[in-house]
Amino acid sequence: MADLSDFRSGQIVGVRLAGASVTKMTTLLCVSRAAIAKVMTVYTNHGNTSSAKRNSGQKTKLSERDHCTLKRIVSNNHRTSAAKVTAELNIHLEDFVSTKPERSFTNPISIVQVQLLNL
């Protein structure tokens, strides 16, 4: 179902609710029986055809305006290093960005090592 759009999934549900058989739907919509079964299973269990995974993951820190600023910085000199782009972008932002990824330490030994390094 991951490769089907919301519109396509909606078509499958609509045609099925209209009374078409699965065999007729495969020829009409050019979709496999397995895809139809998956879409209908999700629809009957959850009541919708869209996947919630599209809204998962880390949210972006940059607004639309920040994206435009970043594009402008990079387009002025596309050979600039990431550190220089980050430094210039941070001048324009309220929430600073970093070139290094955020790390979360869940292992107690790692926490102690980080605390020792910070001493």
Q: pLDDT tens digits, residue range 4-48?
A: 888 888 889 889 889 999 999 889 888 999 999 988 888 888 877
For 63, phi and psi rounded to 5 degrees?
A: -85, 180
Domain limits of the chain? 6-52, 60-96
Q: From 11, 5, 14, select the one nearest 51 (Cα to Cα).
A: 5
Helix residue spans in 47-78 (DSSP H): 64-76
Let me know how long the chain is.
Answer: 119
Structure tokens at 84: 């220089």
Residue 92 pLDDT class (50, 70, 90 cuts): confident
Please return the burial class of 8, using the count of CB atoms within 10 Å of its CB with bins 0-12, 13-18 and 19+. middle
Mean pLDDT, to the nearest integer, of 82-95? 81
Most confident range (mean pLDDT) of 22-26, 72-76, 102-106 is 22-26
> What DSSP character marks residue 39?
H
Mean pLDDT, to the nearest integer, of 80-92? 82
pTM: 0.42
Kind and range of the H or E run holding 114: helix 108-117
